[in-house]
Amino acid sequence: MGRFVLQRLIRSIITLWVVVTVVFVVLNLSGNLAATMLGPDASPEAVAAFRAENGLDDPLPVRYARYLGQLAQGDFGDSLQNGRPAMEELTSRVGATLELGGAAVLIAILIGIPAGVLAALRRNSVWDRGTMLLAFVGQSAPNFFVGIMLILLLSLQLNWLPSSGRGDWQQLIMPAVTLATGLLAALARMSRSSMLEVMSSDFVRTARAKGLSERRVVVGHLLRNAGIPVVTIIGLSIGGLIGGAAITETVFAWPGVGRLMVEAISMRDYPVVLLIVMAVATTVILLNLIVDITYRLLDPRIHATGGTAR
Amino acid sequence: MTGTTLTSVAAGTRSPASPTANRARRRILMPPPIVAVFIVVLVVVVVSAALAPLVAPHDPTRNDLIARLQPPAWLEGGSTEHLLGTDQLGRDVLTRLIYGARVSLIIAVLGTLFGAVLGVTCGLAAGLVRGRLDELMMFLVDAWLALPFLVIALVLVALLGTSLPVLVLLAALSGWAGFTRISRGLGLQIREEQYVLAARAIGVSQVRLLIRHSLPNVIAPLIVLTTTELTGIILLEASLSYLGFGIQPPLAAWGLMVNEGREYLNTSWWLGVFPGALIMLVAISVSLVGDWLRDVLDPTTRT
């Protein structure tokens, strides 16, 4: 197990290094960095000063080494909009996004999994068909449209919930539901098909045959085994949620990382954009690592067949 | 059971495979009614986009400030002159939807096509050649998939701007990893097949092997993946254009129209709702037709 974790860890670090390198290459090959950073109106003197200050006239390998050194020291540059360190800009927004994302994942799990499990247990019933139809539509609905329909219905028509901002819990409901839609639909479909697969397996038939109560079959055998792929889906979809957060936060004026990124891109604020990209990449890579390890701990079969286990 | 109902498609269950090729052919000719409806929807969208200057009732970018924010024809204050109403500058909503379809479809179709060509080339090469190339390719795919694509897209847009070629490039990049993965697996599978060994034995070149012997065998699963990618790209383009990083005004794009309509939601709901509903309708149509194609094309589908 230790060796497996170590292998995965090394692989993750290499992946992160690739992302960081690609970011460096793209930024340095995409034309005149000084002009991009300073804007089109910069004077030639300012451009020359910027080049000298940032060592842009050095050869590429030297710049690359310096860039890695800066990253290692946690120096991600300053925001071009207000001169604050990019890291500070990011950390001031992380809380809002974690709150939104956490609420969305919670909603998706609490509604999606029971809906899918029930659909599987009552296969081909009205409930089953209705849920799956809704899930299918939910997966095809763009986040921003779901958000706008919610605003139209719950804020403007019924006047129940505020349409934007962050503060009290009412303001969290609509953005969280909007962000949850895709994952909720995916979870409902996934837990349904996963349940159906397990329901037809031999050990469930054996459990029934030896006279276990239906409740013990469902809880002890079905849910436990059907849970593995579902857990994986949750872990792997976090990356997609981060993309969805950019849109959801824009629709509801939610002051999180996603909206910061959209703003930074509109303003061509590269240090902030690049920092967010690296933060997102690190998060997703770490999550994949955790999913891999959890998966291995949960599923005894993977454990048994993996030659290097223990 | 010959028909695939909406719910069985939606639930991801498949109708049993037809026992004979004859029956399979009949199913290709006769899609189930619900799928037929969505095929018609797609045909209408594609044809009206292609013939936009002929079928659109107005000029998509001409302002008419006297007739601004008119409701759809069936509401009080609406007129048959503007069936789906007008926007904040008095432009005809229906016309802009038709011209917006052009943008969405061009980006989706070209992007999927380029992405498929790139991905299939990479994937088949990796699967057939194996070794170092294979390892490198899979590592690249994994690294690529480590980032949410919307984030990659936003960065590229920030660096390269928002012209149509850039958007097509983005669309192509969003799909290549998926195509590479699936065609690599197929390449591996094919590599062991008798007819490939036979072809290799008589000295057929790698390139010829790829084009003449492998490709025809992987075409069906690829078509199915293509429809999935199409849906993804339509939603991606809509999202980018909603954020203001797609086609720029005064040109029309569906996502952009939803964005512009957000401000007028209180008084003129139709501005945001029609384009949003259309995006959803097209996405659902493509997915449904794709699921149906999967049933028809794959002779080994399980229940």
Write out residues 122-151 of B within 8 Å (CB-CB) of A.
139, 142-143, 146-151
Q: Give the other-Cβ count within 10 Å of B161's Cβ.
A: 12
Which residue, among B229, B278, B266, B276, has the nearest Cα to A143 in the 3D structure? B276
For helices B164-191 and B93-129, give the axis angle rounded to 10 degrees: 30
Q: What average pLDDT does chain A have?
A: 80
The span from the CA of A114 to the CA of A131, in Å, is 11
A265/B158 CB distance under 8 A = yes
- Residue-wise DSSP of B15-48: PPPPSSHHHHHHHHHS--HHHHHHHHHHHHHHHH
pLDDT at position B300: 54
Give yes or no for B7 touching A (CB within 8 A).
yes
Q: Which of A152, A243, A281 has its CB closest to that of B150?
A: A243
B159/A149 CB distance under 8 A = no
The span from the CA of B57 to the CA of A297, in Å, is 62
Interval A139-198: pLDDT, tens: 888 888 898 888 888 887 787 878 777 778 878 888 999 999 988 998 888 888 888 888
Question: A284: which chain B residues are within 8 Å (Cβ-Cβ)?
Answer: 146-148
User: In chain B, whose CA is at the least distance from the CA of A257?
Assistant: B151
Q: What does each C-alpha distance from B72 to A78, A215, A223, B76, B100 come to in angstroms? A: 49, 54, 50, 8, 18
B147/A277 CB distance under 8 A = yes
pLDDT at position B110: 92
3 state SS of A10: helix
Question: What is the distance in angstroms between the CA of the first residue and the CA of the last residue of chain A?
Answer: 5
3 state SS of B86: strand
Give yes or no for B239 touching A (CB within 8 A).
yes
Q: What does each C-alpha distance from A288 to A12, A181, A250, A295, A300 come to in angstroms? A: 9, 22, 27, 10, 19
**Confidence band for B244, pLDDT divided at 50, 70 and 90:** confident
Question: A143: which chain B residues are within 8 Å (Cβ-Cβ)?
Answer: 239
**Confidence band for A49, pLDDT divided at 50, 70 and 90:** confident
Q: Which of B67-81, B85-99, B200-214 has the highest mean pLDDT?
A: B85-99
Mutate to test the interface with B, among A122, A139, A140, A266 (most CBs of B within 10 A): A140
Query: Who contacts B269 (Cβ-Cβ below 8 Å, separation ≥6)?
Result: A152, A156, B261
Residue B292 has pLDDT above 60, yes or no: yes
Structure tokens at A104: 């969305």
pLDDT at position B59: 79
The span from the CA of B24 to the CA of B4, in Å, is 13
Q: Which of A80-89, A289-298, B92-101 has the highest mean pLDDT?
A: B92-101
pLDDT at position A175: 92
B147/A140 CB distance under 8 A = no
Q: What is the mean pLDDT of residues B216-223?
A: 72
B279/A189 CB distance under 8 A = no
Whether the ω angle into residue B250 lies within 30 degrees of 0, i.e. cis, is yes
A128/B255 CB distance under 8 A = no
Structure tokens at A159: 């006047």
| Residue count of chain A | 310
Q: What is the mean pLDDT of residues A202-212?
A: 81
Least confident range of A60-69, A82-91, B28-37? B28-37
Which residue, among B95, B89, B85, has the nearest Cα to B58 in the 3D structure? B95
Size of interface A-B (CB pairs under 8 A): 143
Mutate to test the interface with A, among B1, B5, B6, B7 (most CBs of A within 10 A): B7
pLDDT at position A54: 67
B265/A250 CB distance under 8 A = no
Q: What does each C-alpha distance from A3 to A56, A298, A304 come to in angstroms? A: 42, 17, 15
Interval B97-115: pLDDT, tens: 898 898 888 999 999 999 9
Which residue, among B172, B189, B166, has the nearest Cα to B118 in the 3D structure? B172
Residue, of A305 and A297, whose pLDDT is higher? A297
Interval A16-48: pLDDT, tens: 888 788 777 776 765 556 666 666 667 777 777
Which residue, among B272, B282, B279, has the nearest Cα to B85 in the 3D structure? B272
Q: What ipTM score was computed for the predicted complex, to two decimals?
A: 0.78
Q: What is the mean pLDDT of residues B42-60?
A: 84
Interval B130-186: pLDDT, tens: 888 888 888 888 777 767 788 888 878 877 778 888 899 999 988 888 888 888 877
Question: B7: which chain A residues are within 8 Å (Cβ-Cβ)?
Answer: 128-129, 132-133
pLDDT at position A288: 79
User: In chain A, whose CA is at the least distance from the CA of B243?
Assistant: A247
Least confident range of A271-275, B40-44, B121-125, B219-223? B219-223
The span from the CA of B53 to the CA of B107, in Å, is 19
pLDDT at position B198: 79
Question: A244: which chain B residues are within 8 Å (Cβ-Cβ)?
Answer: 150
Q: What is the mean pLDDT of residues A274-279?
A: 85
Hey, which residues does B92 pair with through a beta bridge? B86
Q: Give the other-Cβ count within 10 Å of A93's Cβ.
A: 20
Q: Which of B239, B269, B283 has its CB closest to that of A247?
A: B239
**Confidence band for B302, pLDDT divided at 50, 70 and 90:** very low
Residue A129 has pLDDT above 70, yes or no: yes
Question: B244: which chain A residues are within 8 Å (Cβ-Cβ)?
Answer: 266
Write out residues 253-272 of B within 8 Å (CB-CB) of A.
255, 258-259, 261-262, 265-266, 269, 272
Hey, which residues does B86 pair with through a beta bridge? B92
Q: Which of B146, B156, B243 has its CB closest to that of A250?
A: B243
Structure tokens at B253: 């794009």
pLDDT at position B182: 81
The span from the CA of B125 to the CA of A308, in Å, is 30
The dihedral built from the CA positions of residue A101, A106, A109 and A115, taken in this order, carries a sign that is: negative
Q: Which of A15, A140, A274 has its CB closest to that of B287?
A: A140
Q: What is the mean pLDDT of residues A134-138?
A: 87
In angstroms, the separation between the Cα of residue B27 and the nearest Cα of chain A is 23
A251/B262 CB distance under 8 A = yes
Q: Which of A36, A132, A284 has its CB closest to that of B10?
A: A132
pLDDT at position A31: 55
User: In chain A, whose CA is at the least distance from the CA of B240?
Assistant: A247
**Confidence band for B217, pLDDT divided at 50, 70 and 90:** low
Q: Give the other-Cβ count within 10 Å of A110's Cβ.
A: 13
